Amino acid sequence: MGNREDKEKQLKLSLTYKGMSNLYLACQSGKTDIVRQILEKCSYHDLNQIEPNGSTLLHAAAMNGHQDIVRLLIEHGCQRSVVNADRLTAYELAPNDEVRRLFHRPASSRRERFHNDNVDDCFEIVNELEEESSLPSDKAASIERKESVQKYKTSEEKRHEMGYAASSKAMCRSKLGRLLVDYVHDDAPLELETMARHLKEIVDREVAKNDDSEWEKANDLLNRFINHNDHSIEHLFHLYTLETRFYRVLKNDSIPLAIPIYTKLPKLKERYFQGQSYRGACMTVSDLEAYEWAVQHPGSLLQTTNFSSTSLNRQIAEEFIATSEKNTNKRTVVFIFHFPKKCDQAINLGKISDKLPCLSEYEDEAEVLVLPWTLFEVKSVYKNDENDTCSIYLRNVLIPHKSLLSTFLWTARHSRERDCAFQKYKSKK
């Protein structure tokens, strides 16, 4: 009887390892030298294939606590966010903090992503969406006197900016609207092929040509967006979170990523965010005065000018405080973003459920990505003179909804003043 049970146990063990690659077995058993030798000959596909047991090389190494192998696999481009048969990532399987830290973004890079040295790169203070004739003269005069707030545009141009944001959002999210825009523009700006071409130009120029180690991963994610119809927008969020120049280029021009995201955003309703998230900044006294002015003038709104990475973990936004050099001209600031209602311009990239895994390459960051054109009221500015820090509390204001008809009427009325977002790219003939 005992021999039979032993034979059955041996049979089960042999079936467990049947079909596993030699590299997987080496990662599982901690044979670092063998892993290093095989990795030199591995393709990107080999590194990230799903083994017969439903796991990847990274799962095997992380689960067994083999730090050197985990480090090697990450350096060679293993995907961190792949889930195994149990819907778990390698990060989730890591047995201790020492292994989990290997999955973290470098501290200097995380500071750059969740912190602003120049808040003008992230926000501008705008006025409420009102017709020019409805703006009280005393309010207009007050705005004109505070020139430091109105750095970029006149108040009229800022009202136009908000109309532009609402109209662009409505146009992108309407299938009929996209068809009509593509019909009247030779370059078909809202076609998948056009959007993919602009993104690929950035990846090829800023990632591949800089010999970035993440190029194959970035290219793979972009191809998945192009070649899959359902929920493909998730791959673009993942692409954004990679540690590459792709993310940095979007600071200067967010349109190439904003258009496809707004086009397919309804597929991510379960990720619309409600709650609080955080972001750090360094601000001058003059910068702070502008926000204090906004608190005292209800109706003044903060508008994001590009993508802003925020975190559910306040500590991530505050990490820079301990390492920042003392500067008498600047204060370290924590922005507190409050979303009282689910906001379709704030997307939770973290794990929602087994069916909605983490979209970020860096799970520990608990990222909530705030999209361009998102509006906030500045509710309070709190200064802590003891450590020269400051907290600025922002409350989300949903962009006024525009129907497709009102969008076309607005566009027709303002078409001579400024192009719409989709007219930004013209076909090169």
Quick: pLDDT tens for 329-380.
778 899 999 999 999 999 999 999 988 999 999 999 999 999 988 888 899 9
Which of 5-9, 184-188, 232-236 is predicted most confidently? 232-236
261: tokens are 């995201």
Per-residue pLDDT for 412 more than 70?
A: no
In this predicted structure, what is the pLDDT of residue 324?
A: 54
Instruction: Write down the pTM of the prediction.
Output: 0.82
Higher pLDDT, 221 or 400: 221
Where does residue 421 fall: left (phi above 0), alpha (psi -120 to 50 degrees), or beta otherwise?
A: alpha
Calculate the average pLDDT of the chain.
79
From the list 100, 116, 106, the residue with the least C-alpha distance to 363 is 100
Per-residue pLDDT for 236 more than 50?
A: yes
Query: Span 387-407, mean pLDDT?
Result: 79
Per-residue pLDDT for 401 more than 80?
A: no
In this predicted structure, what is the pLDDT of residue 278?
A: 96
List, by residue range, all CATH 1.25.40.20 domains of the chain: 2-103
Per-residue pLDDT for 228 more than 50?
A: yes
Higher pLDDT, 396 or 162: 396
Which stretch of 272-286, 353-367, 403-417 has the lowest confidence by average pLDDT?
Answer: 403-417
In this predicted structure, what is the pLDDT of residue 15?
A: 37
Angstrom distances, CA of residue 376 to CA of 233, 300, 304, 345? 25, 9, 8, 11
Q: What is the CATH number of domain 2-103?
A: 1.25.40.20
What does the buried/exposed string (b/e) look like for 193-208 if buried means 16 or more CB atoms within 10 Å of the residue's CB? ebbbebbbebbeebbe
Query: Span 50-74, mean pLDDT?
Result: 95
